[in-house]
Chains A and B, each alone.
Chain A
Amino acid sequence: LAKTTQPISMDSYEGQEVNITCSHNNIATNDYITWYQQFPSQGPRFIIQGYKTKVTNEVASLFIPADRKSSTLSLPRVSLSDTAVYYCLVGVYNNNDMRFGAGTRLTVKP
């Protein structure tokens, strides 16, 4: 099973760029890397997904080095509303090996 390791928590200030790194040393060839965001009392919400190199969308960027053993979610210019838990998942979609870890609790301060 592809296990992921993330920091338990991070603090930041409004307007800063936040980078959250996820380690996944035993990632398999067919695995994708997916990040979700979860606010209290809500279901997770998809942020971004990638396989290698760099992926960017309107809310975040995902950086994946060549060996794919880690990945970094980058949130540009965070605001208070970005305070949430961020989960890194590795696996083939909806296979039995998809796992949510404990996630990273990001707190954005004014």
Chain B
Amino acid sequence: GAVVSQHPSRVICKSGTSVKIECRSLDFQATTMFWYRQFPKKSLMLMATSNEGSKATYEQGVEKDKFLINHASLTLSTLTVTSAHPEDSSFYICSAAQGGNEKLFFGSGTQLSVL
């Protein structure tokens, strides 16, 4: 089945630093990838939709200058949390839709802890 690889799985960083998270579709081309954030015991919250070769579409309330998304190829999207602060600590998950198939395949997630 389709596989989405997400790295790193865990990041601990100091406040003010930037963190980059990668999401790769390993065996299919993903024109669209999605980025989510999940706080403990809360539901997945869509942050942005990443389209290959174009600007990402951000959900209301998500700062595009803080959460930089780059989708430069059909197999790779990155999320950079710039100048991270403790309130950015969360579980970040990416997903990709396989071609015309609307089923989503998820990365394994990144637990970000900002000290």
A complexed with B: no
- Chain A residues close to B by CB (< 8 Å): none
